[in-house]
Amino acid sequence: MPATRVTRLLPLAAALAAALALPAHGQSLLALYEAARDYDASYQSARAQFDANLARAAQAKAGILPQVGAQASVQRNQFDIDVISGAPPGSGERNFNTQSAAISATQPLYRPAAWAAYEQGKRQAEIAQTVLATAEQDLIVRVSQGYFDVLAAQDTLALVRAQKTAVAEQLAFAQRNFEVGTSTITDSREAQARYDLVVAQEIAAENDLQVRRIALDQLVGRTGSAPLPLATPVVLPAPVPADMNAWVAQAEAVHPAIRQAQLGLDVAGLEVQKAEAGHKPTIDAQLGYSVTRSPQGNLTTTVGTRASGPSIGVVFNMPLFAGFATENRIRETLSLEEQSRAVLEGTRRNVTQATRTAYLGLISGAGQVKALEAAEASSQSALDANRLGYQVGVRINIDVLNSQSQLFQTKRDLAVARYNVLMGNLKLRQANGTLAPTDLQPINAVLAQGGTPAPR
C-alpha cells in the first residue's frame, strides 16, 4: 500500500477531550438552587401564599377568644312637654345633654361551631406547610432539570465539534488519496456530505445550548450560569434503600400530597361538626362597666346625675327552627366529607403508582448507563478497526464515517443517560415525598471541583 495512504488522523477521543475542557469557574447544583430559592417567582409566590394561609388559619382562633369593645356617646336631647292631666294645663320644653361610656367583654363558654372552626384552622395551617413543601420540591426538580439540560447541551455541542474535527481530517485524508490516485472521488464526496451534515448539527447544537442557558439564567436570577460538569470517572449514586416497597411505604407515611388529603378529610369532618352545631345552644359570659352623665338632669328631673357600675351575666341562645337550613347543610357537609375521603384514597393510589414508576425508571436508567458504557468502548474499538482497515485498503471511507457517527451518538446517549439517572434519584424522592435540599449533596459530590458560589 502506498505510503501516501498512511496519514495521521486526529482521534475522536482527543478532539472530544479538548472540546470538553472544564471552565475555569462554575457553579454547583446546590449553589444555583440557593440562588433560585431567593429569586424564582413561583417559589416566592408559594411562600407568600403560605404566609397568607397561616394568617387565615389563625383567624379561626378568634371564635373562642374574648371579644372586648368600648363605646362612648354624647347626646343632645330636646323635648316639648304638654301637660294633659293631673295638673293645670300648660306647655314647655326640656333640654339636656347625656354623656355615656362603656366597656364590655364577651367570652364564649359553649360554642361548638367556633371550636370546630378553631380545629379547622390548625389543620389548615398544616395544609399550608405541605403546599410549601411541595413547591420547594418542585423548585429543586426544576433547577436540577435546567442544570442538567445545560450540561447535556454542552456535551452535545462538544461531541458535534469533536466529530466535525474528525470528519474534517477524514475529508482531508480522502482528498489527498484521490489526488494521488489511490481512492475514488466517491470517498471525498461521502466525507464532504458528512462534514456538511455535521456543520448543520453544530449550528443546531449551538442554538440549543443558548436556549438552555437562557432558561437556567432566568430560573436562578443571574446571567452567565456555568454548571459544573460531572467529574471523571463518573460515579453515580445508587438509590438507598434498594427496595421499591420501602420507598412506597415511606411515601404513604410522609408524602405531602397524602398528608394534605388527610388533613382535607379532617377539615371536612370538622365542617360536619360545624353544621351539626346549628341544632345546639350557645352560652356566652358577658362582663361590662358603664358610666352615664347627665349634667342638666334628664326628662324627669333637673338635678345633674352620674350613674356608673359593672354588669355581669350569662347569655343562653337556643336555635329552634331555621327553615330546614341546618338539616340540608348537614347533608351537604356529609357528602363533601365522602368526597374528601375519595380524594385521599385516589391520592394514595397515585403516589404509590408514581413512586413505583420512578423507582423502576431509575433502575432501568442505571442499567442503560452500564450498557452504554460497554457500547462506547465497543464503538471506539470499531472506529479504530475501521480506520486501520481503511488505511490498509480493506475498508471504505463510509465505514469510517459511520463508525464515527455511531461513537458520537453513543457518547451523547451515555451523557444523557447519566443525567437522567441523577434526575431519576431526585424524581424518585419527589415521587415519594421526601425530596429536600440536602438530597442535592450527593449530586454535588459527583461534580467536578472548583465551583464558585452563585450570587445571592
> CB 323: neighbour CB atoms within 10 A?
7
List all residues 6 or more positions away from 320 whose beta carbon is below 8 Å from its beta carbon: none
In this predicted structure, what is the pLDDT of residue 182? 65
Q: What is the pTM of this model?
A: 0.83
pLDDT the model gives residue 419: 95
Is residue 230 within 8 Å of 155, Cβ to Cβ?
no
The answer, yes or no, to whether the previous bond of 241 is cis (omega within 30 of 0) is yes
Q: Which of 42, 263, 238, 236 is nearest to 137 (CA)?
A: 42
| Residue 222: C-alpha distances to residues 27, 36, 211, 310 (Å) | 11, 9, 15, 66
Low-confidence ranges of the chain (pLDDT < 50): 1-13, 15-24, 450-456
* The pLDDT of residue 355: 96
Dihedrals φ, ψ of 96, to 5°?
-160, 160
Q: pLDDT by residue (tens digit) across 310-362?
A: 999 999 999 998 889 999 999 999 999 999 999 999 999 999 999 999 999 99
Cell of 61: 382562633
User: What is the spatial distance between Cα 351 and Cα 248, in angstroms, rounded to a whole number?
Assistant: 8
Sign of CA dihedral 404, 406, 409, 413: negative
- pLDDT tens-digit readout, 394-415: 777 788 888 888 999 999 999 9
In the sheet that 305-317 helps form, which strands lie side by side, from edge to edge? 67-83, 90-110, 282-294, 305-317
CA distance 205 to 214: 14
- Rounded to the nearest 10°, the torsion over CA 243, 244, 249, 254 is 100
231: left (phi over 0), alpha (psi -120 to 50) or beta: beta
